[in-house]
């Protein structure tokens, strides 16, 4: 073991408050977040924001993997996502909003972590593969596209969180991130090969090996009932949609069912939405009657769904209305500025410790 090996046993990274950390994020490739994001991750963030030290990241550098020619779009989407977060109720007083492009430690850790991941393993990452297919990237994607999966490991580990609340589609990325943490701790912090993942931090590893926390609805289908909900597939209900738009979109769902007395398929897209957005007891009753062909029409179900979803979105609309105009824009920029400052303090510390463990501690810098 070299004398530069990190053995301080910093333990699970906890914020100034002593609370364990969470990190998760969104990529600003679309104008805003949709219901799939809500049930997949935002809901968990809201639930955890009181008891964890939370870091919410806007992966604006990653947005360039597919939108490099549209920087203005990425910029507008970035502001849109911050507005969505504020509208949903993520609270910048309690949580830290992290703008990826302003955190140099993330870029530096990406390069260092790239050495710990076999090239072929990155290229086989199922989340990347699915994305290449869904976005029809063929073999035209830039080098930076698979690179973002390595970058995501750095997004996460820069904050040394214990939990990463994400939708099911991100699981492969979290798995890769765990691989990086394990390898780093073993290679540079002297953690033994047999030490179980959850013991790494206690055994002197710099990085707690983070776990994914999958949302209540792992994969919400889009309105087409085939693909997952996604802006690029045009099958999404956005958090910023008004009440009429929500109902109009729901009304377009097709199930192939002919009449309210025809026994319905309780696994169809409409029923998945019922499960996701209508209170448990009532949802069970709807499904029972639907399956039995007990005079419950698709139109009626869509109406009830519309009411439930609009009730969920209404408080968000109210909060969002306060973010309009130049004042709202200024508020968003202020939130970003403050978040960047807090985030850099943490990420710089992690980078310093990582470099120290790697024998790269030749100087210490401060970012103000
Ligand atoms: N790739 C994620 C998505 O598109 C966004 C993301 C970037 C992220 N960095 C992250 C999520 C770190 C969790 C943790 O949804």
Ligand 1: nearest atom to the Cα of 29: 4
Ligand 1 pocket at CB < 6 A? 23-27, 57, 59, 62, 152, 155-156, 164, 166, 170
| Strand 163-166 versus strand 96-99 pairing type | unpaired
Write down the number of H helices and E strands in the chain: 14, 5
- List b or e across 76-111, with b for residues whose CB sees 16 or more CB atoms inside 10 angstroms: ebbbbbbbbbbbbebebeebbbbbbbbbebbebbbe
Return the best residue to mutate from 27, 54, 77, 84 for the ligand 1 pocket (most ligand atoms within 8 A of CB).
27
Torsion sign over Cα 179, 181, 182, 183: positive
Q: Tokens 């991941």 belong to which residue? A: 117
Closest atom, ligand 1, to C-alpha of 167 = 15
Q: What is the pLDDT along the chain (368 residues), one digit of tens a residue?
A: 333 333 333 444 555 568 999 999 999 998 899 999 999 999 999 999 999 999 999 999 999 999 999 999 999 999 999 999 999 999 999 999 999 999 999 999 999 999 999 999 999 999 999 989 888 899 999 999 999 999 999 999 999 999 999 988 899 999 999 999 999 999 999 999 999 999 999 999 999 999 999 999 988 999 999 988 988 789 999 999 999 999 999 999 999 999 999 999 999 999 999 999 999 999 999 999 999 999 999 999 999 999 999 999 999 999 999 999 999 999 999 999 999 999 999 999 999 999 999 999 998 888 87
What domains lie within the chain, and their CATH numbers? 21-219+325-357 (3.40.50.620), 243-321 (1.10.240.10)
CA distances in angstroms from 152 to 142, 166, 252, listed in the order given? 16, 12, 36
Residues 6+ apart with CB under 8 A from 85: 42, 56, 97
Cα of 338 vs centre of ligand 1, distance in Å, is 21
Q: Which residues of 179-211 are buried (b: 16+ CB within 10 A; e: fewer)?
A: bbbbbbbbebbbbeeebeeeebbebbbbbbbbe
C-alpha 135 – ligand 1 centre gap (Å): 17
Query: How far is ligand 1, taken at its centre, from the CA of residue 24, in Å?
Result: 6
Contact 190, 232 (CB under 8 A): no
Read off the tokens for 254. Answer: 């097709």
Stretch (H or E) spanning 60? helix 60-67
Measured in angstroms, how far is the CA atom of residue 270 from the centroid of ligand 1? 28
CA 175 to ligand 1 centroid distance, Å: 13
**In this structure, are residues 160 and 350 in contact, taking their beta carbons and an 8 Å threshold?**
yes
């Amino acid at each position: 073991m070299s004398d530069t090996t990190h053995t301080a046993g910093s333990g699970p990274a906890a914020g100034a408050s002593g609370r364990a950390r969470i990190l998760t994020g969104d990529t600003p490739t679309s104008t805003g977040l949709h219901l799939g994001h809500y049930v997949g991750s935002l809901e968990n963030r809201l639930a955890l924001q009181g008891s964890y030290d939370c870091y919410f990241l806007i992966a604006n550098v990653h947005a360039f993997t597919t939108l490099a020619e549209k920087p203005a779009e990425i910029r507008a989407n970035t502001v849109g996502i911050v507005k969505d977060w504020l509208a949903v109720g993520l609270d910048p007083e309690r949580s830290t909003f992290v703008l990826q492009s302003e955190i140099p430690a993330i870029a530096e850790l990406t390069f260092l972590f790239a050495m710990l991941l076999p090239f072929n393993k990155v290229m086989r990452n199922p989340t990347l593969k699915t994305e290449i297919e869904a976005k029809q990237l063929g073999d035209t994607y830039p080098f930076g596209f698979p690179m973002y999966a390595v970058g995501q490991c750095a997004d996460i580990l820069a904050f040394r969180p214990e939990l990463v609340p994400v939708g099911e589609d991100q699981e492969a990325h979290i798995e890769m991130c765990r691989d990086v943490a394990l390898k780093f701790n073993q290679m540079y912090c002297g953690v033994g090969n047999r030490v179980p993942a959850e013991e790494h931090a206690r055994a002197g590893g710099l990085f707690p090996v983070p776990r994914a926390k999958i949302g209540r609805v792992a994969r919400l289908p889009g309105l087409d009932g085939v693909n997952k909900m996604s802006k690029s597939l045009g099958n999404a209900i956005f958090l910023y949609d008004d009440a009429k738009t929500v109902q109009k979109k729901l009304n377009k769902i097709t199930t192939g069912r002919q009449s309210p007395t025809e026994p319905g398929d309780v696994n169809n897209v409409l029923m998945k939405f019922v499960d996701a957005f209508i209170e448990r007891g009532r949802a069970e009753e709807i499904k029972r009657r639907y399956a039995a062909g007990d005079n419950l029409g698709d139109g009626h179900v869509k109406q009830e769904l519309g009411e439930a979803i609009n009730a969920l979105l209404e408080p968000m609309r109210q909060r969002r209305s306060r973010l309009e105009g130049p004042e709202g824009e200024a508020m968003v920029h202020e939130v970003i500025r403050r978040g960047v400052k807090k985030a850099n303090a943490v990420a710089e510390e992690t980078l310093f410790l990582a470099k120290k463990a790697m024998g790269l501690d030749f100087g210490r810098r401060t970012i103000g």
